[in-house]
């Protein structure tokens, strides 16, 4: 069944058929994948107003852009919308999206870590170079993030961009997202000749990137917000590790009740796709 034939509301449970046979190997080599037609325009149109409404309702950033630091200018960030809205939960818990993540990571099953809406306002600044896994107290790198724009995202809106192959490079992993990470990782990307891949996103496109892949985004030069929903998926067998920095201490809040050395609790971090069970 394709996106055009799937009934509205059911596409999230229909497997994505756009992955090439080499997808797992390509993802392991490149550290990211930009996929077309992950969701249909009809499905985006169904969920975008709900996500946007929750971002407006739950946003706590009210300073004018000019008074914020670099991170604050990058985007409005609202986390775990699925806990606040049943409709957003359908999107964040989608077996379609989780199934793509499992196949790209080469694992039989993935569970939810958490979701984030990232809305880069009109006139919003850069998203500095960084690697997400700096923030995650997890036992392996079998973790990835879907970056799902909720509108077409041309160059002028600041689409997410990736340093191809940088997930295999260990220097720079000690940097939180900041002016320092922007300067130092930008220098590393140049010195190591990593290709900086910047592409526009059509409506329904999405990217997946590994936890240690260096990525960034340009400013939003358009007159409308760049609306993006993200969901982080982890190998269902991953374990919580001793935090390596204060940010990882804070990120343990996404796995409440899970002790160091344990697999995250299924009630709070549910398995969203299991290829052994779903066939």
Q: Which fold has domain 18-248?
A: Jelly Rolls (2.60.120)
Averaged confidence pLDDT in the chain: 95
pTM for this model (two decimals): 0.95
pLDDT digits (tens, 9 = 90+) for 33-47: 999 999 999 999 999
For residues 234 and 104, is the Cβ–Cβ distance under 8 A? no
Q: Give me the mean pLDDT over the 109-127 stretch.
A: 98
Q: What is the mean pLDDT of residues 262-275?
A: 95
pLDDT reading at 3 higher than 60 = no
* Per-residue confidence band for 6, with pLDDT thresholds at 50, 70 and 90: very low
Residue pair 142/113 in contact by the 8 Å Cβ criterion? no
Instruction: Provide the percentage of residues in the chain whose pLDDT is more than 90.
Output: 94
How many helices and strands, by DSSP H and E, does the chain display? 8, 11
Asked whether residue 19 carries a pLDDT value surpassing 80, the answer given is yes
Tell me, what's the pLDDT at 278? 62
Pairing of strands 206-210, 196-198: unpaired
Q: Is the pLDDT of residue 1 over 80?
A: no
Q: Residue 4 pLDDT > 90, yes or no?
A: no
pLDDT tens sequence across 183-221: 999 999 999 999 999 999 999 999 999 999 999 999 999
Residue 30 belongs to what H/E stretch? helix 23-30
Give the pLDDT of residue 264: 96
pLDDT higher than threshold 70 for residue 5: no
Residue 43 CA to residue 140 CA, distance in Å, equals: 33
Exposure of 127 in the CB half-sphere (CA atoms within 13 A)? 22
Mean pLDDT of the region 102-115 = 98
Which stretch of DSSP H or E encloses residue 57?
Answer: helix 41-58
């Amino acid at each position: 069944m394709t996106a055009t034939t799937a009934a509205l509301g059911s596409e999230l449970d229909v497997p994505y058929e756009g992955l090439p046979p080499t997808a797992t190997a390509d993802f392991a080599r490149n550290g990211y994948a930009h996929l077309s037609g992950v969701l249909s325009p009809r499905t985006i149109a169904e969920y975008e107003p709900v996500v946007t409404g929750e971002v407006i309702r739950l946003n706590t950033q009210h300073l004018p852009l000019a008074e914020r630091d670099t991170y604050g200018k990058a985007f409005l960030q609202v986390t775990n919308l699925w806990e606040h809205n049943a409709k957003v939960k359908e999107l964040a818990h989608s077996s379609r999206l989780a199934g793509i993540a499992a196949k790209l990571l080469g694992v039989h099953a993935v569970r939810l870590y958490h979701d984030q809406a990232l809305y880069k306002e009109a006139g919003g600044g850069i998203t500095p170079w960084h690697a997400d896994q700096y923030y995650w107290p997890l036992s392996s790198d079998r973790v990835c993030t879907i970056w799902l724009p909720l509108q077409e995202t041309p160059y002028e809106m600041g689409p997410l961009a990736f340093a191809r192959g940088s997930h295999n490079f260990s220097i720079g992993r000690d940097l939180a997202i900041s002016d320092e990470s922007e300067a130092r990782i930008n220098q590393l990307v140049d010195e190591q000749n990593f290709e900086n891949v910047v592409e526009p996103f059509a409506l329904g496109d999405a990217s997946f990137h590994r936890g240690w892949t260096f990525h960034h985004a340009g400013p939003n030069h358009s007159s409308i917000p760049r609306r993006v929903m993200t969901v982080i998926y982890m190998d269902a067998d991953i374990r919580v590790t001793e935090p390596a920095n204060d940010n990882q201490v804070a990120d343990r809040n996404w796995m409440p009740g899970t002790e160091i050395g344990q697999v995250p609790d299924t009630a709070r971090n549910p398995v969203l796709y299991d290829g052994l069970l779903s066939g």
